A and B are shown apart, each in its own frame.
Chain A
Amino acid sequence: EPEVTQTPSHQVTQMGQEVILRCVPISNHLYFYWYRQILGQKVEFLVSFYNNEISEKSEIFDDQFSVERPDGSNFTLKIRSTKLEDSAMYFCASSGDRGYSEKLFFGSGTQLSVL
């Protein structure tokens, strides 16, 4: 079965540094998402992306966050100046033919630790 790939699996960074989390969605999918889960808390929606632009974003997704699909295969999440509270597991997801397809395919996540 096709899968969503995320790299790296673990990322450690210093507070104030920029990080880029990378995702390769399933190749024929059109909708892309980032979610995150702070340890012990719920999985939270960050942003959805379609047709090379953000279609929806949550309150968490402030000016420190940005997303990009630079080359038609990768989908990246950038955090410009990381804070301690950005430490979380970040999940990328993609879906096929609808903006709210009920089957999201998730990657295995990137564990981000901000020191």
Chain B
Amino acid sequence: GNSVTQMEGPVTLSEEAFLTINCTYTATGYPSLFWYVQYPGEGLQLLLKATKADDKGSNKGFEATYRKETTSFHLEKGSVQVSDSAVYFCALTRGNQFYFGTGTSLTVIP
């Protein structure tokens, strides 16, 4: 079947620290991969995506590379800010459906 597994949180980092949130997937065929972010009190928003192997999605200083050999799509940012505090969801699409992970809560402290 299709599923996404992401690292459990919560994650707490100091401002300017390096961030990695791990995500691995199981899917038939070649899914598209996404990271969505949910800021407090808001809906899920698309952060970045990659549609084929070796593609790198990037936005707002965040990056993730579609690794087919390791079935992974880890989210990274070199220097986090307090404003990055949110819940991050890894997801894939197959057919007409999205499959989400459980979400990883990130808190960045000044």
Q: Which residues of A contact B (CB under 8 A)?
A: 3-4, 6, 35, 37, 40-45, 48, 55-56, 91, 93, 99-100, 102-109
Alpha-carbon distance A103/B97, docked complex (angstroms): 12
Q: Provide the main secondary structure of the chain B interface.
A: strand
CB contact under 8 A between A91 and B34, given known A41-B102, A100-B95: no
Across chains A and B, the number of contacting residue pairs, with CB separation under 8 Å, is 58
- Name the CB-closest residue of A to B51: A102
Cβ-defined partner of B100 (8 Å) among A3, A42, A105, A109: A42
Alpha-carbon distance A99/B97, docked complex (angstroms): 9
B residues in contact with A107, CB < 8 Å: 43
- Name the CB-closest residue of A to B34: A102
The answer to whether B93 touches A102 (Cβ under 8 A) is: yes
